[in-house]
């Protein structure tokens, strides 16, 4: 099939979907894999808004424009295994000579010189067609739908239960805002961990999408109905989830008026972007869209004031007993800019619940069946359960995920694995492809939210023991290590999760095709990647990381 026919079939804007099966369209699986994953990112089952190439987070794109998508596809179909494609903020800009074990695609998204790293400068460049916002896994072509953040959210809620609620969230009420691409994992993660969940989103289509994928149980436009449902469920210790079409600030205000204080309170609105993400209080969706175009400066001012109001209610609930934490969207910083001087009087989720896992090299390990065959994922599930019988938490997760998680786009899975486990899993998967027990190659990737791949002082690296929160040498070292190690594609982004000026982070994806070449790359990449997490946290002075440094012979 020539490029024009391929594009007409698989990338007829805005209808994108990946080829499936074991037949190649490109010259090798090394280029077929990124091709399929780009198209999977833009599949309407996966992406928030394919018509604007937005994958998640309100503005996180897979490519800069439709011409760029077409050109990337054309180049990947013809790319040889001694070449690498360069992608600059979603636009293909050239090919370079490399070698068979080098990355086939090198991606840099949204990176600006620090003094220019503002939303205002970014938006000027974007309006001139010079840049796009890649978020984390949107512009690095390894977003897998809401499941991508599901286990991390589950791990956070389980850790919260362990610390504050004697290991059980049954009969506990968890309240949050934002039910879009990332926040949409919250209701299922909450019920999987035993809680009763109430979440708000001003956009009904986001809740409807969660209903369709069975990530949420009920939806209503009525606060009274939502309140009665969750109170009844809480009383009966039923772990149900309810999505209310509402501004989150309005919901918290009404709960306070009714003296309903959540046991756990967090947030995942698109507060990383006060113009293209967050919806100001008092505006309908259509009013917000109009104002965003007409007067983005006023829109931002209204967003910041709304975030300040939002956080003030969270602080009030915290003072009344809610276990309150930021789930990593820069809400606190923008609330502070909007006038809430005490916005940082609650912590983020990483220093509260996740950092001990980072010290073990643990993080969001994910993989995708390029075949499109869900049975391939079930084979990998069983292989991991057999390989790690001592990892009871992983086994519980995989069993729950098989029952409760609906695949979006190409079938995929995620589970948090640490140092040693990732390499072992990758080699097992490679043998499964080689033996034909999996019907086609798979790709292994991860979120940029990982143990050693991100600098984000208001999220992953908040409150580092040695004060090195803003040191971004670490994600750069991660990028270089994975490039040298032979990942199939690598990426370096700015701003994902918390917005322009507030984070830098690296991504990697590796092809598992049953070959000796893949085995060599897996041994390097899936060793180096988590090793960076242990090295980074050991350098910061964490005893647990120091112990693991010695355990895995990483000390120098």
Separation between Cα atoms, residue 149 and residue 232, nearest integer Å: 29
Residue 8 pLDDT class (50, 70, 90 cuts) = very high
- The upper half-sphere exposure of residue 107, i.e. CA atoms within 13 Å in the direction of its Cβ, equals 37
Residue 328 pLDDT class (50, 70, 90 cuts) = confident
Instruction: Report the sign of the C-alpha dihedral through residues 134, 135, 136, 142, in that order.
Output: negative
Sequence-ordered alpha helix ranges (H) in 25-133:
29-42, 66-78, 119-127
Separation between Cα atoms, residue 375 and residue 330, nearest integer Å: 39
In the prediction, which pLDDT does 226 show? 98
* pLDDT tens figures, 126-156: 999 999 999 999 999 999 998 888 988 998 9
- Judged against a pLDDT cut of 90, whether residue 57 lies above it is answered with no
In the prediction, which pLDDT does 146 show? 86
Q: Which CATH superfamily is domain 355-551 in?
A: Urocanase superfamily (3.40.1770.10)
* pLDDT tens figures, 433-471: 999 999 999 999 999 999 999 999 999 999 999 999 999
Separation between Cα atoms, residue 466 and residue 244, nearest integer Å: 42
Residue 100 CB contacts under 8 Å (≥ 6 apart), including other chains: 30, 81, 82, 517
The active-site residue, picked from 160, 359, 415, 521, is 415
* pLDDT tens figures, 76-106: 999 999 999 999 999 999 999 999 999 999 9
Residue 321 pLDDT class (50, 70, 90 cuts) = very high
What are 354's two structure tokens? 């996740």
In the prediction, which pLDDT does 516 show? 98
Residue 183 pLDDT class (50, 70, 90 cuts) = confident
Could you tell me the residue ranges of all domains in the chain?
147-346, 355-551
379 class by beta-carbon count within 10 Å (0-12 exposed, 13-18 middle, 19+ buried): middle
What percentage of the chain carries pLDDT values higher than 70? 100
147-346 CATH pick, 3.40.605.10, 3.20.20.70, 3.40.630.30, 3.40.50.10730: 3.40.50.10730
Q: CA end-to-end span of the chain, whole Å? A: 52
What are 306's two structure tokens? 């709304």
Separation between Cα atoms, residue 139 and residue 53, nearest integer Å: 10
310 class by beta-carbon count within 10 Å (0-12 exposed, 13-18 middle, 19+ buried): buried
What are 85's two structure tokens? 């494609």
- Judged against a pLDDT cut of 90, whether residue 180 lies above it is answered with no
In the prediction, which pLDDT does 116 show? 98
* pLDDT tens figures, 387-426: 999 999 899 899 999 998 999 999 999 999 999 999 999 9
Q: Which residues pair with 86 in a beta bridge?
A: 94, 106
Mean of the per-residue pLDDT values of the chain: 96
Section 48-71 average pLDDT: 96
- pLDDT higher for 76 or 329? 76
Active site residue 415: yes
Section 326-335 average pLDDT: 92
pTM > 0.75: yes
Contact assessment for residue 268 and residue 329, using Cβ atoms and an 8 Å cutoff: yes
In the prediction, which pLDDT does 451 show? 96
Cis peptide bond prior to 14, omega within 30° of 0: yes
* DSSP 3-state of 445: strand
**DSSP state at residue 184:** G
Separation between Cα atoms, residue 146 and residue 46, nearest integer Å: 8
Residue 506 pLDDT class (50, 70, 90 cuts) = very high
In the prediction, which pLDDT does 329 show? 86
- Judged against a pLDDT cut of 80, whether residue 182 lies above it is answered with no
Section 335-348 average pLDDT: 97
- Judged against a pLDDT cut of 80, whether residue 181 lies above it is answered with no
Instruction: Report the sign of the C-alpha dihedral through residues 192, 195, 198, 200, in that order.
Output: negative
What are 455's two structure tokens? 């600098």
Separation between Cα atoms, residue 527 and residue 549, nearest integer Å: 13
């Amino acid at each position: 099939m020539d490029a024009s026919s391929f594009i007409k079939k698989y990338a007829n804007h805005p209808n994108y979907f990946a080829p499936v099966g074991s037949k190649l369209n490109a010259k090798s699986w090394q280029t077929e894999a990124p091709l399929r994953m780009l198209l999977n990112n833009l599949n309407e089952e996966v992406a928030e808004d394919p018509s604007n190439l937005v994958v998640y987070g309100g503005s996180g794109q897979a490519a800069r424009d439709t011409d760029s998508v077409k050109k990337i596809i054309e180049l990947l179909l013809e790319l040889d295994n001694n070449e690498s494609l360069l992608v600059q903020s979603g636009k293909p800009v050239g090919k370079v000579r490399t070698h068979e074990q080098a990355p086939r695609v090198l991606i840099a998204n949204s990176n600006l010189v620090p003094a220019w790293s503002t939303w205002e400068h970014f938006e000027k460049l974007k309006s001139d067609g010079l840049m796009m916002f890649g978020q984390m896994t949107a512009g690095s072509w390894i977003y897998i739908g809401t499941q991508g953040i599901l286990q991390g959210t589950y791990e956070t809620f389980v850790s919260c239960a362990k610390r504050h609620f004697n290991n059980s969230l049954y009969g506990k009420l968890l309240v949050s805002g934002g039910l879009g691409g990332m926040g949409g994992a919250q209701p299922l993660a909450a019920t999987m961990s035993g809680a009763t969940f109430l979440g708000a989103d001003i956009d009904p289509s986001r809740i409807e999408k969660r209903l369709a994928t069975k990530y949420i149980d009920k939806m209503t436009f009525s606060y009274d109905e939502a309140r009665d449902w969750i109170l009844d469920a809480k009383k009966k210790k039923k772990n149900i989830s309810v999505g209310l079409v509402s501004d989150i600030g309005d919901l918290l205000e009404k709960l306070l008026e009714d003296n309903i204080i959540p046991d756990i309170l967090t947030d995942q609105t698109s507060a990383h972007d006060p113009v293209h993400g967050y919806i100001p209080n008092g505006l309908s969706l259509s009013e917000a869209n109009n104002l965003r175009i007409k007067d983005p400066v006023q829109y931002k001012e209204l967003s910041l004031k709304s975030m300040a109001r939002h956080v003030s209610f969270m602080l009030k609930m915290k003072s009344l007993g809610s276990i309150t934490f930021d789930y990593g969207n820069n809400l606190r910083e923008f609330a502070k800019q909007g006038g809430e001087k005490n916005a940082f009087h609650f912590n983020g989720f990483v220093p509260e619940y996740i950092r001990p896992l980072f010290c073990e090299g643990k993080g969001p390990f994910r993989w995708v069946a390029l075949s499109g065959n869900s049975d391939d994922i079930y084979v990998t599930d069983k292989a991991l359960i057999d390989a790690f019988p001592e990892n009871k938490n992983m086994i519980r997760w995989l069993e729950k995920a098989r029952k409760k998680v609906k695949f979006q786009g190409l079938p995929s899975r995620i589970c948090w694995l640490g140092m040693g486990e990732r390499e072992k899993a990758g080699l097992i998967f490679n043998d499964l492809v080689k033996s034909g027990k999996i019907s086609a190659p798979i790709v292994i990737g991860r979120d940029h939210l990982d143990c050693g791949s991100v600098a984000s002082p208001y999220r992953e690296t908040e409150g580092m023991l040695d004060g090195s929160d803003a040191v971004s040498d670490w994600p750069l070292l991660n990028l270089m290590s994975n490039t040298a190690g032979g990942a199939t594609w690598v990426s370096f982004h700015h701003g994902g999760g918390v917005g322009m000026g507030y984070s830098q982070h690296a991504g990697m994806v590796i092809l598992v095709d049953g070959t000796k070449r893949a085995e060599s790359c897996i041994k390097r990449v899936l060793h180096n990647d988590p090793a960076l997490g242990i090295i980074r946290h050991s350098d910061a002075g964490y005893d647990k990381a120091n112990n693991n440094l010695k355990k895995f012979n990483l000390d120098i």
